[in-house]
Each structure stands twice: as structure tokens, then as C-alpha cells.
Amino acid sequence: MGKQKNLILPIQGMTCANCVSTVERNVKKLNGVQSVAVNLSSERAAVSYDESNTGLDEIINRIQRAGYDVALAEGEFILKNSPDALDSERIAKDLLKVSGVRDVNINISTSKVSIRYIPTLVSQLEIRAQLKRLGFESVILGDQAIDQEELVRRKEIK
């Protein structure tokens, strides 16, 4: 038996109790998933699973196949020192290994790193810390205290 992992995913598109049971039923079908508890009011799914049998990508795919989605936040980080092409590849490759980071785009000419991530799994502070470990400090623009999941929810409501 592999390592037990617990995570909370923000789910988009649920409107009723039937939606909750649809998400729960579909995620439970995955091999290695021990439990799934979906809360309609908080729009979150708590999933407990065995990492050796399934992973985050499979869980997200199953949620999407059921007709729902996982809310993603977007963060933009301006690096103090400009990366070159090799640095960009290394940064993107390393950031994509961070649980919850789904997409990384780096603009070398502007030194901007745009990241789409799951806000319940990783925060902008953790992403900044990872960038710093890689040797690239980011400029702080005053967005550290912003609740990214709330921004995603507001955008969904509009």
C-alpha cells in the first residue's frame, strides 16, 4: 500500500445535491480513492486516496468527465533578475512538479511568470518561495493577502 494523501479541491459548476452525488460517485470509481466528501455550500471536495494507485491528474480528469471543473487561480510573478531560455525551462519544469500548479508560462522579455494553480493546494507565498529556491526572487506587488479562490468564485458567479 502506498502513501495516503488527503486534499481539498474547489469544484466549479455544482448547483444542487444531485451535482454533489455525481462528483462523489465519479471520483469514488477511481482505484485507490478511499473517501470523497463534497460540500455544496463551500463548493469543495475532500478526497482521501492512495498515491500509488491514483493521482491528482486522474481525480481532476474524473471530475471534468462528470461535467464539473476544478477552480484555478492565476498568479503573475515579476522576477527581479531576468531568466534566459534555459532558466525558463528549468523554472517551468520545477514549478510544474509543485502539487497544485497546473500551467506555467514565462515571458523572457518581460521577466513575467504566469501560473495557473489550485488555490487550496498551493499559495502564492509557496510559489514565491519555490522561485526563490530556484534563484529567482519575485517583486512583491501587494497581492499576497488576496484570497485567490474567492477571486475565482466571483469570476464564476459573473
User: How much is the pLDDT for 154?
Assistant: 72
Does position 25 have pLDDT exceeding 60, yes or no? Answer: yes
d(CA 136, CA 81): 7
Torsions phi, psi of 78, nearest 5?
A: -100, 120
Q: State the average pLDDT over residues 76-102.
A: 94
pLDDT bin (cut points 50, 70, 90) of residue 67 is very high
> Considering Cα of 114, then 118, then 123, then 129, what sign does the dihedral take?
negative
d(CA 48, CA 30): 11
pTM (2 d.p.): 0.82
pLDDT bin (cut points 50, 70, 90) of residue 110 is very high
63: exposed, middle or buried (Cβ count in 10 Å: 0-12, 13-18, 19+): buried
Does position 157 have pLDDT exceeding 90, yes or no? Answer: no
